[in-house]
Each structure stands twice: as C-alpha cells, then as structure tokens.
Amino acid sequence: MDFVKGCIVPSASPFFRDLIFCRGKRGGISFLLGVGSWFWGTGIREGPVIKLYPIVQNDGFEQRSHSMTIQEMTTAFEIEESPLISGEELLEMGDIGPCELVEGRIIKMSPTKMPHGKIESRLDRKLSVFVEKNNLGEIMLGEIGLYTHRNPDTVRAADLLYISRERLAKATPGGFLDVAPELVVEIMSPSDRWGMVRKKLREYFEVGVTVLLVIEPDEQVISVYRSPTEFQELSIRDTLKMKDILPGFALPVADLFA
C-alpha cells in the first residue's frame, strides 16, 4: 500500500490499482471513499478531514481517467486537520471503543488481552475488599477517564484507580474524573512503549496522583512510582505495600501473576 497525503493507494493489486481510498467526513459522518471506481462505506475513521475537489468540472465528481498519477492525486485532495475536541464532547460521543483524548485529539487503543484482564481483576478484588472494609473510598477500573490537562483537553484511560472519599467529594459527578486519585494502575501491553508510559507518568504526577503502579505481565514485575523518577521495582518474591495511601494493605506480588 502506498500513502499519498493521507490517501491509501492499493497499487499492489492489479484489480484495484485504479482505486484510491481516503478517509473523510461528510455531514458529521465518517466514511471511506474510493476514487477511480466510486465506493462508499460508513464506519469510524478517526483522522484528518479530506476535502475532495472535482478533477473534471461537471455536475458531480467525475474521474478524468481510470489511472491517476501521483501528481494528479496530490492536487485533487487537500488534507485539513480535524478540529480539537473537549473532554465533554468526547463524553457526548458515547461508546466509541477504547481510546484516550490527547491534547484534543482522539487516540484509538487496542482491546486488552487475557493476561491484562486477569491481573486487573485480581488486583481489583484485593484492593476492593480492603478499601470497603475500612470505608476508605472507591476502587474504579475499566479504562476510567481522568483529566490530566485542560485547553486542550487530555483524558487518560486508567486501567484501575483508587480515590479516597475526601477527594471523590470534590469531583464533578457524571463525567470524566477531574480530581486526581491517590492511586493509578497502568498494566502494560506488548505494544506499549516506555516513552509513552513516561509521558503519562509525568501527567499523572502533575495533577496530584500520589502513587502509580506500572505492571509488566511478561516480566512479572511491578514498578511503584512516587514521582516521575523515583520508583521501586517489585518481583514475585516481594510484597506490595502502600503505607502512604493504604496503610495496612499488603499483597504478595506472586498472587497477581499466579
């Protein structure tokens, strides 16, 4: 596949070499457009808005020939950046699948795999029992939206978090969390890059998160961060304790990876 200013040219196929597929929007509806032989199909396509100009002036869009040169295609299409959206606008979209909002732009995320889900579920059970027994606050999981920046908005999707009753009382009800929780848990996937994880670390601590757990299922380790640069690495021989936010809580790390 070749890319021409955001367009995909399936040049490898002799049957479809004349088709140019582009992402665009019309009337607020995302679509997939094929130029050469016209093809329309609805679906979610995040990215730039594509303005299509007629190659030959006519009553509608009309192709000049079955084959288009690269130069013709680059002059036929104009790429325009999508407008930034707010966290409130993202919320109004409803369920659009796993994603985060980063500086006003939607970033799609892949569904999590089984090891990720098992670890998240086990940690949730252990924390929830302790927090409920001591009436401390709430454990939330399932990619909870948390604001880490405003104007433009960034909403991170936390795998799991703990927030005390005192902090939760200050949050705006009904939307993404706009008050920093005491604890955020990030469970790494094989596709995650440490550069992006470190960026999230800085964002979480800048808004007031106290402790961040980064769990690596493949390595079976937990990194306990209390600042972007200060951390303690725990192996399956260690016990997870967080005396500064959950005094009395203790969890053998091996229990998460068993």
Whether 72 shows a pLDDT value over 90: the answer reads no
Evaluated on CA atoms 128, 130, 133, 134, the torsion sign reads negative
pLDDT single digits (tens) 211-228 = 999 999 999 999 999 999
Paired tokens of 75: 């002059």
pLDDT single digits (tens) 150-173 = 999 999 999 999 999 999 999 999
**Cα→Cα distances 106→89, 142, 151, 156, Å:** 11, 18, 14, 11
Question: Which residues, other chains included, contact 187 with Cβ-Cβ below 8 Å and sequence gap of 6+?
Answer: 112, 116, 119, 120, 159, 160, 215, 217
For the chain, domain boundaries: 2-82, 108-257
**Cα→Cα distances 191→68, 100, 117, 146, 188, Å:** 37, 15, 16, 22, 8
Polymer length of the chain: 258
Output the DSSP codes for 191-227: T--HHHHHHHHHHHHHHT--EEEEEETTTTEEEEESS
**Cα→Cα distances 10→79, 120, 211, Å:** 19, 40, 48
* Averaged confidence pLDDT in the chain: 78
H or E element, residue 132 = helix 114-133
Residue 190 is predicted with a pLDDT of 77
Domain 108-257 has CATH 3.90.1570.10: yes
Question: Which residues, other chains included, contact 87 with Cβ-Cβ below 8 Å and sequence gap of 6+?
Answer: 101, 145, 147, 153, 155, 175, 176
Residue 47 is predicted with a pLDDT of 44
Residue 81 is predicted with a pLDDT of 60
Whether 129 shows a pLDDT value over 80: the answer reads yes
Instruction: Give residue 94's Cα distance to chain centre.
Output: 15
Residue 205 is predicted with a pLDDT of 98
Residue 57 is predicted with a pLDDT of 33
Whether 10 shows a pLDDT value over 90: the answer reads no
Q: Pick the more confident residue, 139 or 258.
A: 139
Whether 27 shows a pLDDT value over 90: the answer reads no
Q: Pick the more confident residue, 96 or 224.
A: 224
Give the SS3 label for residue 178.
coil
For residue 199, the one-letter residue type is: K
Burial string for 56-77 (b: 16+ CB within 10 Å, else e) reads eeeeeeebeeeebeeeebeebb
- Ranges 39-48, 116-125, 209-218: which has the least confidence: 39-48
pLDDT single digits (tens) 190-204 = 777 888 889 999 999
Whether 8 shows a pLDDT value over 50: the answer reads no
pLDDT single digits (tens) 110-121 = 888 899 999 999
Residue 248 is predicted with a pLDDT of 97
Q: What is the mean pLDDT of residues 118-136?
A: 97
Residue 42 is predicted with a pLDDT of 35
Question: Which residues, other chains included, contact 148 with Cβ-Cβ below 8 Å and sequence gap of 6+?
Answer: 154, 155, 156, 200, 203, 204, 206, 207
